[in-house]
Structure 1
Amino acid sequence: MSNRTIYRMKLTPIIGTRFQPTGFPDLGPALFQSPGADGGWIESLHVESPQSMANHLEAMTWNDGARDQVAALEGLPYVRVISPDGEFLTSSRLEAHRLASAYVMEGMIDETKQSGEQWMEAAFQLQAGRPLNHQRIADQIFRWDPVSLIHGVFFARKAWPWQPRIARAVTAFIDAYDVRAAVSGGVKTDSVEIKGGNTDTGYGMVPHQRTEYTAQDIKAFVSVDHDQIASYGLGTARTELLETLVAFQIASLFRNGLRLRTACDLEVADVDGADLPEVDQATSDVRAAIAACAGEFSPIAVTWGDRKARKTASEK
């Protein structure tokens, strides 16, 4: 039996009963039928996907206002991407592909004069005709940004002899059961050009429709795969850091309320399964784990210029 911690949490809207689900392109809300208690089927709704929940959990490590990670994680490495004039652009915590972001791969590793793609291929020691050294890949990723070992990263680089992949060690999603549509609407008013003007550019009166939902039950599910984390072979202290990072993100997200969207503001009403970590304890634990691994980090910075500038430089 696999070694996992499972959280099942009943959620409720913080105000009212309505909530706004994720909208998917060419699909809209993700409605589906799920098994009911009486053997029948009930109308259900996928409120938040695993990839979106990974982003929400990872956001608990970042302070947008400071353009840096949260103070509780001071000392933990991540990749900062800056412009040639030193302006902060993005980071491995903000990018969808994390360390495999195009801004990291196509940027210049400071002081090496190599692209991120060239530098990482050498660091991973990738060779054609030789198997992947999974422990080395995990070791290097840990040194650059341990959070990528929690939420996954896929280096889909055609120029490499191998494309290393780390699966998510934490899977989370939110579903609602026995749902009903709550249809409303409104109008964008124009007090100057009531009948005239181009609505495409913001003039005129524009009516709109909104579909939210109510539900008998909204549940968040979280699975932490401890076997995967242990399989990295990083040793006791570094494995403990990954585990405390997971607890810190889960506590920070679910204990402080889930404001997923403007009209989707939820809170935990009940927890079934494992006990939900407390924020103060999780913060204390992760601070101690970071201190215990202080000599294990090799933070890197990347400089990325716009495409036109990079093309001009490559032609010189």
Structure 2
Amino acid sequence: MNQPKGATVIDTTANRLRFSATLEPALGSRFQPTGFPDLGAAEFTSYNDKGEPVASLLVESVQSVANRLEATAWDPAAQTPQAFLADLPHVEVRAADDQRFLTSSRLEAHRLASAFVRDSTHDGRPMLEHITERLGLVNHKPLHHQSMAAALMSLDPFSLLHGCFFNQAAWFGQPRFARAVSGVIEAHGVEQAVSGGRKSDTVQHKNTKSSDDDTETTKGSAEGYGSIPFHRIEYTARTITADFTIDTQLLRSYNLPDPTTELLTALALWEIRVFLRDGLRLRTACDLDLLHVESRTGHELPDADTLATRITELMPSATAHLTHTGPLTVHWADGKTAKSTKGSKKTAKKTAAPTQRTAADQASLTDTEVTAP
């Protein structure tokens, strides 16, 4: 296999690379798990090696860990990728009126299939058409995932790592790219830790009624006044484990050049390492520390610096064949879909301003966020 020179060559011959990390609460012994609307904490029963039931809990879901892994490669202060990844393509979305930065394919839940990418224009042409052409989507023609994967490498390689579903009818065949790197955090042997507190009002000690223009208004807890007791449920656990898998068989199936396949694998490994090092403060009351990490498939998980060095070595070979590197700037005009250059008469739809996934709000991410498969 013809590889760029380097001290570390990532193994891409295995079908899967799997790792298991043991975690513990950084403060005390309690932690707050993820929660879901109308459900709360996701408790479930797992089974140990003897087939005995074990009270278990979902601490962080697959879809949320996917967001957190991808966030490791983004610099939220600069609103750009991490500097050593700058040559990898991505789509940045700017406002059509004043060029201000809005979002990016690295921040959007659906990545390249995001409405803010799809409804933007590049050199006056709708991105929906641009992506259709780049992926070679034609009616009455089978999808060819190898050629589409090569095209995605020139648009945003992270769509191959973290998945993307091109679900619009105009995207013939609605191609779907499965997630190649996945992770989940679970706790086992859990017990509820019930506690509470009190929001104190040191000014108003009793709810009152005030009259303004003969209209009585109650100034109470609904308006934020008064002292309010509350309860909370946290958890303790015998073990907290983060499990990760990289589907190298899937990455090889795209038939990309060898340095590109190794680059994608190294990126996935680097994301896992950096997440375990820097990203384990999941919520205000869920700050975790890494105790140790082990391989479940006999493959080493190199440290983050070693992986960053290897990625840097691979970058020239992996990007040499790309049609585009760095950011592809597109313009979003307040949700007004650009007129198709092919004469489409579809009406424009208004969409809300984009919500970016940045480091500032990673601690409050919930599993209600819709992500790519």
Using the size of structure 1 for normalisation, the TM-score is 0.92
Out of 113, 124, 137, which is 1:126 matched to?
137
Rounded to whole Å, the distance in 1 between the matches of 2:88 and 2:171 is 28
The structure-2 alpha-carbon separation of the partners of 1:309 and 1:148, relative to structure 1 and needing over 3 Å to count, comes to closer
Rounded to whole Å, the distance in 2 between the matches of 1:171 and 1:107 is 30
Aligned partners of 2:48 and 2:54 also within 8 Å: yes
Out of 241, 251, 262, which is 1:219 matched to?
241
Deviation at 1:169, TM superposition (A): 0.6
Amino acid at match of 2:234: E
User: 98-107 or 236-245: which moved more?
Assistant: 236-245
Out of 263, 286, 290, which is 2:311 matched to?
286
Q: For each residue in 1:262-295, what CA deviation from the matched residue of structure 2 results, as whole angstroms up to 9, or x when unmatched?
A: 1111122122324332011011111122232333
Out of 188, 194, 206, which is 2:199 matched to?
188
Deviation at 1:257, TM superposition (A): 5.2
Deviation at 1:205, TM superposition (A): 2.5
Query: Residue 239 of structure 1 corresponds to which residue in structure 2?
Result: 261
Rounded to whole Å, the distance in 2 between the matches of 1:23 and 1:125 is 41
Q: How does 1:148-297 map to 2 (within 5 A)?
A: 148-196=159-207, 197-256=219-278, 258-273=280-295, 274-295=299-320, 296-297=322-323
Query: Residue 47 of structure 2 corresponds to which residue in structure 1?
Result: 35
Amino acid at match of 2:300: D
Deviation at 1:37, TM superposition (A): 4.2
Rounded to whole Å, the distance in 1 between the matches of 2:281 and 2:244 is 17
Rounded to whole Å, the distance in 1 between the matches of 2:103 and 2:191 is 40
Aligned partners of 2:126 and 2:337 also within 8 Å: no
Using the size of structure 2 for normalisation, the TM-score is 0.79
Query: Residue 60 of structure 1 corresponds to which residue in structure 2?
Result: 72
Out of 62, 74, 81, which is 1:50 matched to?
62
Aligned partners of 1:257 and 1:267 also within 8 Å: no
Deviation at 1:256, TM superposition (A): 3.3
Q: Percent identity?
A: 43
Out of 114, 117, 120, which is 1:101 matched to?
114
Rounded to whole Å, the distance in 2 between the matches of 1:282 and 1:167 is 24
Amino acid at match of 2:146: Q
User: 70-79 or 184-193: which moved more?
Assistant: 184-193
The structure-2 alpha-carbon separation of the partners of 1:199 and 1:107, relative to structure 1 and needing over 3 Å to count, comes to farther
Rounded to whole Å, the distance in 2 between the matches of 1:226 and 1:216 is 32
Query: Residue 305 of structure 1 corresponds to which residue in structure 2?
Result: 333
Q: Which has the larger radius of gyration?
A: 2
Aligned partners of 2:125 and 2:338 also within 8 Å: no
Deviation at 1:2, TM superposition (A): 6.5
Is 1:26 aligned with 2:26? no
Aligned partners of 2:246 and 2:265 also within 8 Å: no
Amino acid at match of 1:74: A
Rounded to whole Å, the distance in 2 between the matches of 1:314 and 1:52 is 31
Unaligned runs of 5+ in 2: 1-12, 208-218, 340-346, 350-373
Amino acid at match of 1:174: I
Deviation at 1:308, TM superposition (A): 6.6
Rounded to whole Å, the distance in 2 between the matches of 1:151 and 1:125 is 21
Cα root mean square deviation, aligned: 2.2
